[in-house]
């Protein structure tokens, strides 16, 4: 349940933080639920923009990531962004699989939800997203083959998800 004492809803256009810093430097948790279970993963690749007349977020998820199964089943996910004091928790959540242990419980983070989509109360910003498009990246689509060679030596190409940003929540200060 969303705690309105902690968060307020804003429009996606009101996100004031730099997306390059939020995603590439600060990292984010990509979280989804399916079959009464929740899983999350740390990510530092993605972005925000406008596509098909909608405010969207895009993320990429490798096929072996457990969170991918949840996104594929539910068609929805959240992106939660944190301040620097949570860096070690994000690192832990990015290296341990939810298949092997209850990593969310072990992280000590508090799950909140809106429209049945989980995100974390400790975050400074959370976006609730609905998948509009997904496609697996393919080696023949790279115009610069050195990218595929560098980032995909095991040929475990990401799936690209483009998702409508349905809601954005920020900490109420």
Compute the distance between CA of residue 40 and CA of residue 108 in angstroms, rounded to an integer.
Answer: 13
In this prediction the pTM is 0.94
Residue-wise pLDDT tens digits, 6-27: 899 999 999 999 999 999 999 9
- Residue 2 is predicted with a pLDDT of 57
Q: Would you list the DSSP string of 106-142?
A: HHTPPEEEETTEEEETT-SEEEEEEEEEEEE--GGG-
Compute the distance between CA of residue 97 and CA of residue 95 in angstroms, rounded to an integer.
Answer: 7
- Residue 4 is predicted with a pLDDT of 59
């Amino acid at each position: 349940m969303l705690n309105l004492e902690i968060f307020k809803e804003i429009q996606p256009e009101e996100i004031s933080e730099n997306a390059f810093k939020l995603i590439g430097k600060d990292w984010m948790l990509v979280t989804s639920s399916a079959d009464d279970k929740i899983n999350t993963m740390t990510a530092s690749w993605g972005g925000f923009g406008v596509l098909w007349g909608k405010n969207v977020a895009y993320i990429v998820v490798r096929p072996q990531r457990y969170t991918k199964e949840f996104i594929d089943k539910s068609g929805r996910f959240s992106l939660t962004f944190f301040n620097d004091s949570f860096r070690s928790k994000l690192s832990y959540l990015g290296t341990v699989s939810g298949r092997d242990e209850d990593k969310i419980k072990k992280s000590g983070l508090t799950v909140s939800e809106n429209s049945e989509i989980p995100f974390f109360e400790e975050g400074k910003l959370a976006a609730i997203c609905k998948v509009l498009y997904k496609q697996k990246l393919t080696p023949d689509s790279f115009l610069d083959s050195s990218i595929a060679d560098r980032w995909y030596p095991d040929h475990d190409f990401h799936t690209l998800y483009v998702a409508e940003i349905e809601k954005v929540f920020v900490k109420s200060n």
